[in-house]
Every structure is written in structure tokens, then in C-alpha cells.
């Protein structure tokens, strides 16, 4: 079940569904972007593309100027995901699957572990092991359920966006600590319970708590790779993969675009801020900056753009949709200006294209920061945007060959693997099917209260004891000094009296 209405979430797993089907598994997928391949006779796709209408109400470009990611999740996305979970449970084909007398059986249930935990309950309904799948790196609430450490200021904690980093001040880390733990508390104790209520509405009151179901997932399959993320401690039941969506042979470009790119003596720049951001929603001064810079550069521009340019530019090619991998694979490409999406980052690494990141939401800050850290990218803030900054950033990358050289090294590191990634993921899924109980991969830490995980109770007791001892010592010292001074002044007074006599 991959139900987030976003193409980037869907393509991360489409090759997996196809491969499982080709291996003889009967696969039923809830998806917003069906593959629609009639040759995959073992693949049944239940189409939820109508849920895109729910998310089209959100203008991420405008929200970028007024909200951070945690507030977007709490104020906008979570209500929408509740609506999506309702849409799934009440769909006639889904109802037929989970009806008490349906007789349907599944060996395993794979559920996207983003913010639709109510769907975990279908694994309980079918008495099947539950596997979490994520097209994005894990959120902190997932790490908490897995028993991994919570790191509010570490750059791998992507939902904190641009307030994480290295060598932060104590005050900065305190603010991050409070902000992240408050959000985790909200997710686990409020949002998850709202999802629980939806699941109980359709499956009855006897289902386990969704928090416990997430905590006890057999494994989590996460679309993240070491080279493209800031590494942190991970438990054995978290299985990393990446790049399953990357084509071995990208599709041919449309003739007009192919001719446009072939006839680029200085090369070309590809610009795309993803599928969720509407470019024309940006303030006028931002769009004007893009126009001015792109028109003045000595390079051709291929721009995923949903509006009309103020005038016609022969060296700028625009379209509302573009075959991204085919463009990145073209030998004349010099730079990819992007929003920092994870799949786009993986594609840029695969095709060894230097990057200029303009992060907008979600994990994009962390992805861009990692690429900057590796020396293969520069970053710009869309809320503090100017012609000068955009132009200088592009020219710095294009005139400094080290960006391309470092990207080639990053690609070599990323490509050097001991196994085929798709076969690796399938092996783990079939491992869970074969054994069902894989609790030996789980850490017992996930069952400990938060204060025991970090020895907070021990630290509190030791701090109190140390404080009490210190206070007692200070009191004793004070009294001793008081007695000493009293004796001193008394003796001094006696000496003065004797001298006067």
C-alpha cells in the first residue's frame, strides 16, 4: 500500500511490485499511479489517483514562506492523510478484501509508513506480517518506535529542516530538543490515535494499537542510501535500499527536445522543482530572478514550468512535464537545478550531474545539505532570493570542474555494491514470508520508556543527589565559616580589652 498521492513516492516501488509479480507472487497494490502493464498478470492494482484532488488544495510554494515542515504536517497534511485513509477503507474493492467472509489471505502486508498508520490494521485483519516501506528517509517517530536514538540537532533528522547541523550552540540544541520531542509526542499520542479511530471504524474495536503495530513491524524497507544521507545508528530490522526506480536504458527524448539538447554547444541546464511545487505561485520577484538569469546565461535551459514566460526565449525550453532521467542522461547536461527531492538526488548521483538545490519542503533540506557537504552542490534559500545569488551560484558550479569530479567519485562509491539492490529487497520480503517471526532482528530498547532509553532517570537521580550533597556541603562550610569568624571576632575583642586595661 503506497497511498501518498505523489509520483515520487510511487516510482520508488513500481519496479518492486513488478519483480514480485514476475516471481510468481500474487500482488495487490493500492496506488495513485498504476503501472498498467497487462503483461504483469499476477499484479492487481487498485487505483486511487482521485486522491490527488485532496492534495492539490495545498500550495507548497506559498506555505514555504510562512510554515516549517513540522507545522505543515500538523496543520495541513495530517488532516489530508486522514481523508485518504478513509477513502481507502471505504473503497468497494478494498471493502471486498477485508470483509469478514471474504476468505482473502495474504502472506505479508507492505504498508507505506509515512502518516497513514491506520492502514497497518489490514495486516492484523489478514493475520499477516507487516513490513513498512518508505520512499523517504525515516522520521523521528519511526526511529523512536524502532528503538533508535532520537537526534534533534543531527542533520539526518530531516524534518527539522535547516535548523540542524554540527557544532551548534547549547541554546540552539535545547530549542531543537524541545521542538522535536513535542512533535513526537503529538504524533504518537494524538495523530496516531486519530488514525486508530479510523481503522476501528472499519475493522472493529478489537484491533491492536497502531503505535504497537508500527513498533512491531517485521522490517522496514527504507529508500535511503549511506552516500546520500547523513549516517546515524540503525537497528538490524531497518533495511536500506535506493535507486530501484532508475532506468537502465532511459526512454528516447521527444524529437523536438532531442534536437534542442543536441544543438547546445555550451551544454544545457535542467531546472525542475518537482511535481508538488507550482512555480507560478512564487512571488513575482522570484520568477523575475529566474527569467533574468536564465535569459542571460550562455547555456540552453530546459525548465519544468507550468506558466507562460514573459517573452519567447529561443534558448529556453519549457514544458509542464519532462522525462527527467532521459534529460539527466544526455551528454550535454552541465547542471541540475532542483528542489532536493530524494529520487531526484539519487538520479543526479547516478548520472553524475552537479546540483544547485533550492529546497522547498520535507526531506529536501537534508538531501541538499548532504550534497553540499559532499561538495557536489550549492544551496539557495527561496525566501531570500536574488538575481545576483542565483547567477553567481550557477556560474560558480559551472566554472569549477571540482563539482563534476567530486560527483563522479560519489557515483563510484554509490554504485559499488555487493549485490543487486532489487534482489536484495525481494530477498528480505521473502525472508519475512518464510519465517513470519523475525523478532530476533528487533532491539528490546523499543519497549523501554523514553526516560530509560537515555538513562534520564539515572541522570536525574544523580543530579539531585549531587545537588543535595553540594548544598549540604555549602551549608556546612557556611556554618563552619560563621563559627570561625565568630571565634575570631570574639578573640579579637578580648585582645583589645586586655590592651586597654
The predicted model gives 369-389 an average pLDDT of 93
The alpha carbon of 196 is separated from its chain's Cα centroid by a whole number of angstroms, namely 23
User: So what's the pLDDT on residue 306?
Assistant: 87
- Please check whether residue 192 is in contact with residue 173, taking contact to mean a CB–CB distance below 8 angstroms: no
For residue 492, being part of any structural domain is answered with yes
The predicted model gives 225-246 an average pLDDT of 91
Candidate from 24-38, 73-87, 259-273, 395-409 with smallest mean pLDDT: 73-87
Asked if residue 262 and residue 229 are part of one domain, the reply reads no
Asked if residue 424 and residue 404 are part of one domain, the reply reads no
Angstrom distance (rounded) from CA 399 to CA 65 = 31
Asked if residue 472 and residue 411 are part of one domain, the reply reads no
Asked if residue 145 and residue 12 are part of one domain, the reply reads yes
The predicted model gives 296-308 an average pLDDT of 91
Query: Residue 68 maps to which CATH number?
Result: 3.40.50.2000
Q: Is the dihedral of CA 407, 154, 217, 361 positive or negative?
A: negative
3-state secondary structure of 388: helix
pLDDT in tens, 143-166: 999 999 999 999 999 999 889 999
Angstrom distance (rounded) from CA 47 to CA 35 = 10
User: So what's the pLDDT on residue 32?
Assistant: 92
Asked if residue 191 and residue 122 are part of one domain, the reply reads yes
Asked if residue 475 and residue 423 are part of one domain, the reply reads no
Which string of b and e fits 170-180 if b means at least 16 CB within 10 Å?
eeeeeebeeeb
Which of 415, 438, 467 marks a domain boundary?
A: 415
For residue 360, being part of any structural domain is answered with yes
Q: Residue 486 sits in which domain range?
A: 455-500
Asked if residue 236 and residue 143 are part of one domain, the reply reads yes
Residue 87 has pLDDT above 70, yes or no: yes
The total number of structural domains that make up the chain: 3
**Residue linked to cell 514550468:** 305
Asked if residue 407 and residue 376 are part of one domain, the reply reads yes
Asked if residue 426 and residue 406 are part of one domain, the reply reads no
For residue 198, being part of any structural domain is answered with yes
- Please check whether residue 355 is in contact with residue 336, taking contact to mean a CB–CB distance below 8 angstroms: yes
pLDDT in tens, 394-440: 999 999 999 999 999 999 999 999 999 999 999 999 999 999 999 99
**Selected residue with higher pLDDT from 61 and 294:** 294
- CB burial class (10 A; 0-12, 13-18, 19+) of residue 336? buried
For residue 132, being part of any structural domain is answered with yes
Summarize the chain as % helix, strand, coil (round to 5): 55, 10, 35
pLDDT in tens, 207-218: 999 999 999 999
For residue 159, being part of any structural domain is answered with yes
Residue 499 has pLDDT above 70, yes or no: no
Cell of 102: 471474504
Closest CA to 345 of 326, 328, 320, 322: 328
Strands (E) across 327-484 are located at: 333-338, 355-357, 377-379
Closest CA to 60 of 48, 77, 47: 77
Asked if residue 480 and residue 391 are part of one domain, the reply reads no
Query: Which percentage of the chain shows pLDDT scores above 90?
Result: 69
- CB burial class (10 A; 0-12, 13-18, 19+) of residue 50? exposed
Which of 415, 437, 469 marks a domain boundary?
A: 415
User: So what's the pLDDT on residue 424?
Assistant: 96
Cell of 368: 541538499
The alpha carbon of 322 is separated from its chain's Cα centroid by a whole number of angstroms, namely 24
Asked if residue 361 and residue 438 are part of one domain, the reply reads no
Asked if residue 189 and residue 61 are part of one domain, the reply reads yes
The predicted model gives 153-181 an average pLDDT of 93
For residue 2, being part of any structural domain is answered with no
Which of 405, 428, 447 marks a domain boundary?
A: 447
Cell of 265: 554547444
C-alpha triplet 367, 373, 378: angle, nearest 5°:
75
For residue 115, being part of any structural domain is answered with yes
Sheet containing strand 377-379, edge to edge, reads 316-319, 300-304, 268-272, 333-338, 355-357, 377-379
For residue 250, being part of any structural domain is answered with no
Amino acid at each position: 500500500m503506497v497511498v501518498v498521492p505523489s509520483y515520487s513516492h510511487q516510482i520508488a516501488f513500481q519496479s518492486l511490485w513488478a519483480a514480485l509479480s514476475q516471481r510468481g507472487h500474487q500482488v495487490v497494490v493500492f496506488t495513485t499511479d498504476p503501472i498498467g502493464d497487462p503483461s504483469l498478470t499476477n499484479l492487481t492494482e487498485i487505483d486511487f489517483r482521485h486522491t490527488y484532488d485532496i492534495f492539490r488544495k495545498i500550495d507548497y510554494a506559498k506555505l514555504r514562506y510562512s510554515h516549517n515542515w513540522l507545522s505543515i504536517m500538523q496543520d495541513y497534511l495530517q488532516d489530508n492523510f486522514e481523508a485518504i485513509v478513509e477513502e481507502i477503507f471505504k473503497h468497494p474493492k478494498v471493502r471486498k478484501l477485508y470483509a469478514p467472509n471474504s476468505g482473502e489471505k495474504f502472506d505479508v502486508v507492505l504498508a507505506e509508513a509515512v502518516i497513514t498508520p491506520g492502514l497497518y490494521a489490514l495486516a492484523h485483519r489478514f493475520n499477516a506480517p507487516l513490513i513498512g516501506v518508505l520512499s523517504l528517509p525515516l522520521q523521528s517517530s519511526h526511529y523512536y518506535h524502532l528503538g533508535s536514538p532520537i537526534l534533534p540537532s543531527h542533520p539526518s533528522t530531516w524534518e527539522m529542516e535547516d535548523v540542524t547541523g554540527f557544532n551548534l550552540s547549547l541554546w540552539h540544541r535545547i530549542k531543537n530538543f524541545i521542538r522535536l520531542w513535542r512533535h513526537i509526542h503529538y504524533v504518537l499520542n494524538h495523530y496516531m490515535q486519530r488514525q486508530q479511530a479510523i481503522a476501528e471504524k472499519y475493522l472493529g474495536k478489537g484491533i491492536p494499537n497502531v503505535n504497537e503495530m508500527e513498533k512491531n513491524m517485521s522490517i522496514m524497507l527504507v529508500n535511503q542510501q549511506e552516500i546520500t544521507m547523513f549516517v546515524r545508528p540503525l537497528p538490524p530490522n531497518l533495511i536500506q535500499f535506493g535507486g530501484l526506480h532508475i532506468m537502465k536504458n532511459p526512454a528516447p527524448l521527444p524529437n523536438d527536445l532531442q534536437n534542442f539538447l543536441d544543438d547546445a554547444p555550451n551544454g544545457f541546464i535542467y531546472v525542475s522543482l518537482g511535481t508538488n511545487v507550482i512555480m507560478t505561485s512564487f512571488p513575482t520577484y522570484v520568477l523575475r530572478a529566474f527569467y533574468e538569469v536564465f535569459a542571460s546565461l550562455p547555456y540552453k535551459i530546459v525548465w519544468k514550468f507550468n506558466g507562460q514566460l514573459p517573452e519567447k526565449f529561443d534558448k529556453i525550453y519549457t514544458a509542464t512535464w519532462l522525462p527527467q532521467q532521459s534529460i539527466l542522461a544526455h551528454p550535454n547536461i552541465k547542471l541540475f537545478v532542483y528542489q532536493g527531492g530524494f529520487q531526484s538526488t539519487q538520479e543526479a548521483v547516478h548520472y553524475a550531474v552537479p546540483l544547485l538545490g533550492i529546497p522547498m519542503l520535507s526531506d529536501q533540506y537534508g538531501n541538499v545539505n548532504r550534497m553540499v557537504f559532499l561538495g557536489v552542490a550549492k544551496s539557495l534559500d527561496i525566501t531570500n532570493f536574488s538575481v545576483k545569488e542565483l547567477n553567481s551560484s550557477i556560474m560558480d558550479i559551472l566554472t569549477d570542474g571540482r563539482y563534476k569530479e567530486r560527483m563522479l567519485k560519489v557515483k563510484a562509491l554509490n554504485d559499488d555494491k555487493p549485490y543487486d539492490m532489487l534482489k536484495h529487497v525481494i530477498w528480505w520480503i521473502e525472508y519475512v514470508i518464510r519465517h513470519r517471526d523475525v523478532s530476533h532482528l528487533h532491539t528490546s530498547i523499543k519497549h523501554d520508556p523514553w526516560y530509560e532509553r537515555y538513562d534520564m532517570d539515572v541522570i536525574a537521580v544523580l543530579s539531585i543527589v549531587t545537588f543535595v550533597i553540594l548544598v549540604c556541603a555549602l551549608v556546612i562550610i557556611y556554618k563552619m565559616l560563621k563559627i570561625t569568624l565568630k571565634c575570631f571576632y570574639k578573640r579579637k575583642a578580648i585582645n583589645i580589652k586586655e590592651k586597654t586595661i
